[in-house]
């Protein structure tokens, strides 16, 4: 039976013909089911599913239920254009679409699994990471920032993002109420993150810096005073007159700020984005000799392997055997 496939409604229970009447709490159950995955994940799934439907439509193939051969062909079509991680996410979207209407997913078939495995072997699985903004880069970016309210905001954004090793979504999601200033520095309550979708929350300490111009605590206080922000979103947009708006910045805005400042200090802006702050913190801390445990405490990484990617990059030229060769 072919199902309507114009829109993906992920993890939303559907009534069957045998249902006589919905249970009193069924609507609430559906609402909870919608929140079982992060909104960013669902948004990505919807986009991926629509693309799969368009591709199937152009070839007059059925997307729901899709055959294993159709899905394998789809992977092969996009193998040279998408990274392996993106292909895997599209498979996840296809699987969720089938689960949503009670169908077995074709993504678990042997031909689909082997096609993806072959793509990994032929094209490789190495990811292209954004460049890490190291401590000297951050100092230069701060020095190159604008004057006035835009500069005050950008300096606070860069320094807090770097010191707290925040993801860009975490950074723009902060509210004034999440910040507690004390004699020791700033305590940030991160209420939700990529690895904490249940909202257990965690606290992150930001100590005072030795230089007032690059101290994340003092610079953030300057921004709040300058913008007269007492509650609500910590980082906000400004209009062309430099007036602070009510809405918070987006993750894309963070990337734009980093790219703008990277370009000003002579760096390749294409290699820098919001993740450069987080990667830069871990790499700079590793170069300075910080322990894996202390870096993971700040970044919130749960996997040692993940944080070791940064530590390894930061250790390339420390205790390097090539330096002992006398060349």
Tell me if residue 168 is catalytic. Answer: no
* Set 98, 168, 236, 278: catalytic member: 278
* Set 45, 74, 272, 310: catalytic member: 310
Neighbours of 82 (CB within 10 A): 16
* Set 153, 167, 218, 281: catalytic member: 167
Rounded to whole angstroms, how far apart are CA atoms 255 and 241?
22
Listed residue (143, 153, 146) closest to 249, CA to CA: 153
Tell me if residue 183 is catalytic. Answer: no
Contacts 24+ apart (CB under 8 A), 59-63: 62/2, 63/5, 63/97
Tell me if residue 194 is catalytic. Answer: yes
The string of DSSP codes covering 100-146 is HTT---GGGSHHHHHHHHHHHHHH-----PPPP--HHHHHHHHHTSP
Rounded to whole angstroms, how far apart are CA atoms 291 and 221?
29
C-alpha separations of 204 from 67, 144, 187, 215, 268 in Å: 48, 27, 6, 16, 31
Q: Which residues of 222-257 are buried (b: 16+ CB within 10 A; e: fewer)?
A: bbbeebebeeebbbbebeeeeebeeebbebebbbeb
* Set 54, 194, 203, 302: catalytic member: 194
* Set 218, 259, 275, 281: catalytic member: 275
Catalytic positions are 167, 194, 275, 278, 301, 310
């Amino acid at each position: 039976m072919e199902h309507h496939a114009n829109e993906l409604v992920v993890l939303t229970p559907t009534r069957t013909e045998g249902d006589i009447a919905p249970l009193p709490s069924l609507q609430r159950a559906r609402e909870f089911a919608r929140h079982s995955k992060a909104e960013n994940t669902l948004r990505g799934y919807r986009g991926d599913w629509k693309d799969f439907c368009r591709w199937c439509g152009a070839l007059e193939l059925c997307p729901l239920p899709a055959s294993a051969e159709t899905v394998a062909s789809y992977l092969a079509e996009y193998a040279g254009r998408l990274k392996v991680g993106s292909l895997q996410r599209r498979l996840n979207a296809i699987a969720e679409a089938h689960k949503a209407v009670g169908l077995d997913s074709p993504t678990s078939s042997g031909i689909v699994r082997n096609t993806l495995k072959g793509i990994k072997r032929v094209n490789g699985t190495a990811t292209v990471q954004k460049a890490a903004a190291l401590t000297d880069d951050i100092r230069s970016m701060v020095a190159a920032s604008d004057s006035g309210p835009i500069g005050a905001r950008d300096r606070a954004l860069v320094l807090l993002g770097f010191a707290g090793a925040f993801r860009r979504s975490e950074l723009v999601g902060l509210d004034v109420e999440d910040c507690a200033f004390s004699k020791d520095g700033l305590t940030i309550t991160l209420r939700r993150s990529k690895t904490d979708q249940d909202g257990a929350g965690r606290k992150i300490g930001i100590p005072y810096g030795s230089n007032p111009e690059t101290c994340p605590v003092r610079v953030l206080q300057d921004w709040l005073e300058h913008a007269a922000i007492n509650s609500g979103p910590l980082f906000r947009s400004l209009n062309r007159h430099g007036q602070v708006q009510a809405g918070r910045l987006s993750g894309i805005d963070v990337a734009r700020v980093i790219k703008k400042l990277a370009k000003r200090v002579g760096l390749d802006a294409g290699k820098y984005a919001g993740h450069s702050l987080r990667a830069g913190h871990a790499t700079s801390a590793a170069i300075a000799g910080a322990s894996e445990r202390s870096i993971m405490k700040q970044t919130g990484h749960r996997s040692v392997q993940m944080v070791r990617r940064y530590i390894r990059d930061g250790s390339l030229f420390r205790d390097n055997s090539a330096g002992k060769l006398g060349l």
